[in-house]
Structure formats: structure tokens, C-alpha cells
Structure 1
Amino acid sequence: MTDRETTLAELKAAMARFVEERNWRQYHTPKNLAMSVAIEAAELMEHFQWDGDIDPGALDERQRREIGAEMADVLLYLCSLSTCLDIDLAAATADKLACNRRRFPVERVKGRAHRHQWKDGG
């Protein structure tokens, strides 16, 4: 399974099967799933907490595996939450990207990372 060959629908279906096989749907409430996304995101942040800016090329294979596992946890819980709430995650993502394109036009924000830089053009 790779990014190039796997659709979001396939990931959602695989996670739904995993949950169903274990009879965990009863625990997969919106609140529990949203909390799980936040918890796993915090676990992902721990990998970078005291390291400053990490050069992605400097990560060893163990670090890449551990970070990838935390990223996968976040994605899988998002898949479960979108299934639970019947939200089309790809459509929501496309909508959000369109909204962000309007909010942050290239000519106003290119190369600028901070909101105060966007307001006055300075």
C-alpha cells in the first residue's frame, strides 16, 4: 500500500473493517475520535519538541518509522471520524483548500509566514 496506489476511500474502508472486526464502533463516538486525533497529533509533536528545526534528510530510518506511525495514527482516526460523521473527507479537504486560496492569495502572502505581515502588506 502506497500513497500513489491507495485512495482515501480505501483507507477509510480498511479502517472501518478494522474497527468492525474488533467490535469497537460502540467506542468510536465523535468526541472520542476527535480526542484521539488530538492525542495522536500531540504524540507526533513530541518527536520534534526539543530539536528545533530538523533537516528532513537528517532523520534516520528508526525516526522516520516512528514519525510515520504517529502520522498514520492521526490519519486513521480522521478516517474513522469522517466515517462516523458521514463527512466526505476528500470533499471537505478540497473545500478547505479553496477557502484558503481565497483567504491567502499568493500575491499577498507569498514568502510571508506571519499574519501581521499579511495585513498591511509589509
Structure 2
Amino acid sequence: MTLDDLALRLRDFAAARNWEPFHTPKNLVMALSGEVGELTELFQWLTPEESAAVLDDPGTAHDVRDELADVLLYLVRLADVLGVDLLAAAEAKIDRNEHRFPPESVG
């Protein structure tokens, strides 16, 4: 599945439920923020070592995957509503970051 396929599936999902009036950029950003908060909560009090091993526990792994999926779904839906090509935007951002943060020279 591509991001375009995912966006189309989400668009169809929202349309089938008449949710488009509620899928405003403001509402989608707020929902996205809430999902990021739920993901953050899963890592909040973990040590760096525990956070690196978070997928070792099946229950926690399931929760992390669900919250990551929620974040992705709201982000893709928001980009679709705004008409933003996420892959193009990400590529452009990486290009800018490569210029802003050149590799350190070894020496």
C-alpha cells in the first residue's frame, strides 16, 4: 500500500460515515496531537534502555503499534485534506536539513 492508497482508503472511510464536515484541518490536528500524546504516555517513564526494548513485551508492543498507526492515519488524513504530498514535503525537508546540518568532518 502506498501513502496515496492509504489516503484514498481514509477518504472513502470518512465519506461512508459522513465525517467530512468534522475532518477540518483544525480538528485533525487536534486529533493528531491527542494520538501523539497517547504514544508519548507509553514511553513517559521508561529508561532509554526500556524504551529501546518496548516491543519485547507483546502487550506493550500492541499498544505502541496501535498508537503509531493512529498517528500515521491522522497525519495522512490531514495531509490529504490540505492537499499536501507528504513524501514530497519530507524529501524537501531532508534536502534542507542536509544543507543546514552538514556531516561533521573527521579529522
TM-score, structure 2 length as denominator? Answer: 0.88
Q: How big is the shift at 1:57? A: 6.5
Tell me the residue number matched to 1:55.
52
Higher helix fraction (1 or 2): 2
- Note the residue ranges of structure 1 that are not aligned, 5 or more in a row: 1-5, 111-122
User: How many pairs were matched up?
Assistant: 104
Give the match for residue 13 of structure 2.
18
Structure 1 segments (4+ residues) deviating >4 Å: none
Unaligned runs of 5+ in 2: none
Q: TM-score, normalised by structure 1?
A: 0.78
Shift of 1:49: 0.5
- Relative to structure 1, is the Cα distance of residues 104 and 65 closer, same or farther in structure 2, using a 3 angstrom cutoff? same
After superposition, where does 1:1-122 map in structure 2 within 5 Å? 6-53=1-48, 54-56=51-53, 59-107=56-104
CA distance in 1, matches of 2:69, 2:55: 21
Identity %: 40
Relative distance call for 1:25 and 1:62 in structure 2 (3 A) is same
Calculate the aligned-residue CA RMSD, in Å.
1.7
Q: 1:57 to 1:49 in 2, by over 3 A?
A: closer
